[in-house]
Structure 1
Amino acid sequence: MQEVENFIRKHRLLSSVKKVVIGVSGGPDSLALLHYLWKRSSFYKINVIAASFDHQLRGEESARELAFVRSFCEKRNITFEGCKADVANYQKEHGLSLQTAARTCRYTFFEEVMNRHHADALALAHHGDDQVETMLMRMTRGSEGFSLAGIPIKRPFANGEIIRPFLGITKEQIEHYCKVENLFPVHDSSNDSEKYVRNRFRKNVLPFLKKENPSVHERFQHLSETISEDEAYILKLAAIELEKVLISQTEGKIELSVSAFNKMPIPLQKRGITLILNYLYKINPSSLSSVHKENFLSLLGSEHPSGSLHFPSGLVVSRTYDRCLLSFEQDVNHEEWSFDYSLELPGIVELPNGMVTAEITDRKPALLRGKDVFVFSRKDVSLPLRVRSRKPGDRMAIAGVGSRKLKDIFIDAKVPQEERKVWPIVVDAKGEIVWLPGLKHTRHYSLNQSEQWVILRFQKNRHDV
């Protein structure tokens, strides 16, 4: 009891709590927690509510456990809330694993009880041995970040928080408490089956660790708290650095600079992708793992200038040169921009990424240079001109080079894939490409033997520069 009180005081678990709901299955852990907080309720100045949930997965056995908890509470005048639900059916309807379905139903019930009683906290009976098992399981599975810290001492939940007052003690201490207080908890037969991963760790790994160090649970709890504190600090640093890397951020879509991201220290890169995925997913899918994050870092660190990854729930990571776009599939696979406009002389054509202007002059133009300007004699080009988007197989003739695919020109110029879709192409009356604004002219034209000259200019939207 003294160890539990020290733990509660150290972590201020009940300092602002007036009403606490306790999740009770009827087993030794939860029954001991209920009894302890009920017995010490006047000391902590709290009202206690017991909440018991029957998953209906073990037939009459689980039904008897619910009845046992109800009876236990009635004898001690403890407020009781009970509920049962067909978890197996819920699992089938929602396509979840059995454990996920059970947890979802159980926590939904706990939240309802908390709201009904305006409770400040939900107390759960996870103990030090549970912590060791959880951290080992997650290390083995390849978890990272906060997940490696195992079970949190407290976390936000409903309109309050979840607290775990028993994380500082062992299963053996809890069972001893039950004997001293003459408590007779029920036994869950599923805890004996080695088909569950946790039970295998409990039976095969934990005894070895306790033999090496009887206080191993204290070392793991200390490690858990250290990881949590360090992770929180590094995430703050990562968030600051990430602001310098992002090009754009909208709902369901983030674009970042690859070179700027790669300049971040590796630990901040890893936390940066965690922050990005948390923002995009809101609630990370269970199939998202550290492997996805490693693949993301490999894509951005690769010498190859382009590539893509497909993450769970339709999230696509697409890199093109120095830009990386993370967006959900419905955004990435949208219908390509397609346009085909007639370019009057003089005239203006508004485009998705800028505009092309055309003017005519009777005077010989001053020397105009640059790929954003194209000057030619009316006699040298077949009119009228059109401005269109690219088509598969597009090629253009370039003086001194010959015919080249537009795809290769875009690659050489490191134009991102998304921009290629809306890049303007100027063609003559024969359909031949005469100008790729901002990139290439088809050939040099003589300006000496003309009475009229045409000047085309391309102005790219400022936010695309």
Structure 2
Amino acid sequence: MINIENNFLFHKNDIIVIGCSAGPDSMALVDMLLKIRDKYSLSLIIAHVNHNVREQSIIEANYMKKYCEDNNLVFETMTILEYGDDNFENEARNIRYNFFENVVLKYSANYLMTAHHGDDLIETIMMRMVRGSNLRGYSGFKKIVDMDNYKIVRPLISYTKKELEEYNDLNGVKYFIDATNSSDKYTRNRYRKYLLPFLKSEDINVHHKFLKFSENLNSACTFINKERDKALKRVLLEDSLVIDKFLAEDEYIQREILYYLLSEFYQDDLILLNDKHIALLMDLICSKKANSSINLPNDVIANKYYNMLELKRDISEITSYEIEFDEYATLPNGHVIERVLDTSDNSNNICRLNSSDISLPLIVRTRKIGDKMYIKGMDGSKKVKDIFINSKIKLNDRDSWPIVLDSKNRIVWIPGVKKSKFDKKKSESYDIILRYS
């Protein structure tokens, strides 16, 4: 018997965004939360993404809208109009979670809940084992993930898909089946169809073993990351790796350091890397050549020069820049930032500032590792790399995207992307209006 209250501690007046596809797993989750809504005075918001790859998608979206109306649920939806040339599954996930986060911020929600279950965890772990990863990758996903101002919660992680289907049958929950889930075109489907049944034939409760494996790895990763962070202070000189100091570290910590440095370039696209790329980096580091380099996916270059190793993006058309400006600045990417007298535009292409809140002059530059910004409407700061990911800025554009700072090095605006806490509403007091075009 599934009891969601046994898997998560709910509080009175929690605001919860539920990622719901209209499939059997997410509809089961919604039904469970509806059953305890009054008990905890929960505010429930349904976030539905139409991936626009099946004719049935519009039927599902319309059903969810009507379902939410009938059950007094807030309904938020988006339709993906086009995809890039990247891995479809990875790109769809990034778009989906960007949308979910925007809904969370809109309603100041405490939690984003998704219907990932034990079978999903097994598939994820096995896929990463075959592809190659680090310990954190091999652990799959966690039940609870702390974000800047909310938590991602997967309350069904200890149950199987079969148990959720039985719950739906018992409670008369309607759901839709995604026909693409049976296609061998997608990697996860092949693991689900061929590997998962074999594992369950060996042990019907294998998902509990994988869950314990995941929890143990996550605990180990927490400790290892602390040791890695200490090592980073010893081996980094500005943004470059001091090779002799790096080689003095434990072999496993070396590997974690390399994954960490690469994550600054790949973020959610770390899926592009595997053990062979780490091995190539180690070969470069240990090479007797004083000067050498290797190319990594997505135009990342590793340069070795004597006792130093530098990772950088190869951008031949646009390089990094830093420009001090007052009234007008033409940027290397062809865009312009200028001061204007007035505008009715309230988009992210406009920033209104009060000079008493900031320190002039303003500077526009490209991003640096570790950049953070205090976002308007949020408590605390957020890494610029995460803002770019959530805003679907293409990987190759991130290193040349303009960032506006004051002379105290505080980020006040990412033109066209996000406004900081320094931005003023049109009804508030301000004496500077900036436009990005």
TM (norm. structure 1) is 0.63
Higher relative CO (Cα under 8 Å, sequence separation at least 6) belongs to 2
Once the two structures are TM-superposed, the CA of residue 305 in structure 1 deviates from its matched residue by 4.4
CA 1:228/1:16 → structure 2, altered by over 3 Å: closer, same or farther?
farther
Structure 2 match to 1:294: 279
The answer as to whether partners of 1:168 and 1:221 remain within 8 angstroms in 2 is yes
One-letter amino acid of the structure 2 residue matched with residue 72 of structure 1 = Y
**CA contact under 8 A between 1:285 and 1:312: conserved in structure 2?**
no
Aligned to 2:295: 310
Report if the CA contact (8 A) 1:114-1:158 is conserved.
no
Query: Which one of 134, 137, 146 corresponds to residue 136 of structure 2?
Result: 146
Please list the CA deviations of residues 60-100 of structure 1 after superposition, one character each: whole Å capped at 9, or x if unmatched: x11111122222222222222233232xxx21xx4333323
User: Structure 2: which 5+ runs fail to align?
Assistant: 320-437
Matches of 2:86 and 2:309 in 1, distance apart?
32
Matching residue of 1:7: 7
Task: Report the CA distance shift for 1:54/1:262 in structure 2 as closer, same or farther (over 3 A).
Answer: same
Q: CA deviation at 1:213?
A: 1.0
- Is 2:230 the counterpart of 1:227? no
Match of 2:226 among 236, 241, 258: 236
- 2:28 corresponds to: 32
Q: Does 1:51 align with 2:41?
A: no
Aligned 1:324-363 pairs, distance under 5 A: 324-329=309-314
Residues 30-72 of structure 1, C-alpha deviation per residue, up to 9 Å, x if partnerless? 000001011112344421111222122112x111111222222
Flag as ranges the 4+ runs of structure 1 deviating above 6 A: none
2:242 is equivalent to residue 257 of structure 1:
yes
TM-fit CA distance, 1:240 = 0.8
Structure 2 residue aligned with 1:216, among 193, 206, 229?
206
Deviations 1:75-133 (A, max 9, x none): 222222233232xxx21xx4333323433332333223222222121111010001001
Indicate the residue corresponding to 1:380 in structure 2.
none
SS state of the match for residue 308, structure 1? strand
One-letter code of the match for 1:310? N
Q: Which runs of 5+ in 1 are unaligned?
A: 335-465
Distance 1:203 1:327, change over 3 A: closer
Q: Deviation at 1:207?
A: 1.1
Measure, in 2, the Cα distance between the counterparts of 1:322 and 1:28.
Answer: 56
Matched, 1:189 2:189: no
Kept in 2, the 8 Å contact 1:3–1:168? The answer is no
Q: 2:39, 2:153 → 1: CA distance?
A: 18
Structural RMSD (CA): 2.5
Percent identity between matched residues is 31
Q: Distance in 1 between matches of 2:105 and 2:241?
A: 41
Please state how far the C-alpha of 1:242 moved relative to its aligned partner.
Answer: 2.4
Partners of 2:40 and 2:171 in 1: how far apart? 19
Aligned counterparts of 2:208 and 2:166: Cα–Cα separation in 1: 18
Q: Is the 8 A contact 1:17 1:120 kept in 2?
A: no
SS of the aligned residue for 1:326 comes to: strand
Task: Please give the TM-score of this superposition, normalised by the length of structure 2.
Answer: 0.67
* Deviation readout 1:134-158 (Å, 9 max, x if unpaired): 1111111112231111122222457
Equivalent AA in structure 1 for residue 272 of structure 2: S
The one-letter code sitting in structure 1 at the alignment partner of 2:251 is I
Q: Which of 1 and 2 has greater Rg?
A: 1
Alpha carbons 2:131, 2:274 under 8 Å: kept: no
Q: How far did 1:272 drift?
A: 1.3
2:114 is aligned with 1:119: no
Helix, strand or coil at the partner of 1:81:
strand
Distance 1:311 1:325 in 2: 13
1:18 pairs with one of 6, 14, 18: 14
Shift in Å, 1:294? 1.7
SS in 1 for 2:155: coil
Counterparts in 2 of 1:43 and 1:291: CA distance versus 1, 3 Å: farther
Cα offset for 1:3? Answer: 5.4
| Secondary structure in 2 matching 1:40 | helix
Where 2:17 maps in the other structure, the secondary structure is strand
Shift of 1:211: 1.4
Determine the structure 1 residue equivalent to 2:368. none
* Cα offset, 1:190, TM superposition: 1.1
Q: 1:194 to 1:122 in 2, by over 3 A?
A: same
Deviation at 1:302, TM superposition (A): 3.4
- Matched residues in 2 for 1:279 and 1:25: separation? 31
